[in-house]
Amino acid sequence: MNIRRSSTHPPNLSAFTLVEIMIVVAIIALLAAIAVPSLIRARKRAQAGTVRVDLRLIDAAMDQYGTENGTKDGATITVAAWRQYMKPNSRLYSTNVSIFGDTYGDQTFGTLPTVPSTVWDMSSDVCDASFWAPYVRSP
C-alpha cells in the first residue's frame, strides 16, 4: 500500500532537532557560568555589609550607654550594657552574634568595634580596607 502525501498538508517540521536543543543548553550553561561568580561576590559583599551595619549599631549603642552613664574612655562596656540600646527582638539584640557566627562580646568605650578576623578574611576578595573604614580588623 502506497501512501501519498497531499500537497495541502506538508510534513510536520515544527519539532526541534537534537542539535538545536544542545545549542540552547550550551548557551544557558555559558550564561550561568558568567553569572554565578558575580552572584557569589554580590552575596559575600552583602553579608559583609550586614556585619558593617552591626558594627555601626554597636558603636552607636556604646555611645548612648557612655553618654547616659558618664563612662570614661577605656572603660569596658559589657554586652548586657550595650545590648540595652539595641532594638528589642532584633538579631543583634537577641543573639549578639554576627551572621557568620562570630560573637561580638564586650567593647571598650572610646574605641571602635573591630571586624572579626574570620569575616575580614572571608570577604577580603570583595571588600578592601576602605570598605570597612573606619573599622579595623580584630587582632
Tens of pLDDT, residues 43-75: 999 999 999 999 999 999 999 999 999 999 999
Q: Specify the number of domains making up the chain.
A: 1
- For residue 79, the model assigns a pLDDT of 92
Residue 77 lies in a domain: yes
- For residue 112, the model assigns a pLDDT of 93
- For residue 14, the model assigns a pLDDT of 77
Residue 6 lies in a domain: no
Q: How many CB atoms lie within 10 A of CB 83?
A: 19
- For residue 16, the model assigns a pLDDT of 85
- Work out whether strand 107-108 and strand 76-77 pair parallel, antiparallel, or are unpaired: antiparallel
Give the list of residues 6+ apart from residue 77 with CB closer than 8 angstroms, or none.
Answer: 62, 65, 66, 71, 106, 107, 108, 109
Residue 82 lies in a domain: yes
Residue 120 lies in a domain: no
Residue 109 lies in a domain: yes
Whether the per-residue pLDDT at 27 is higher than 80: the answer is yes
Residue 58 lies in a domain: yes
Q: Quote the cell numbers at residue 111.
A: 574605641
Residue 33 lies in a domain: no
pLDDT in tens, 78-133: 999 999 999 999 989 998 899 989 999 899 999 999 999 989 999 999 999 899 99
Q: Domain of 71?
A: 50-113
Residue 80 lies in a domain: yes
The residue assigned the cell 554565578 is: 36
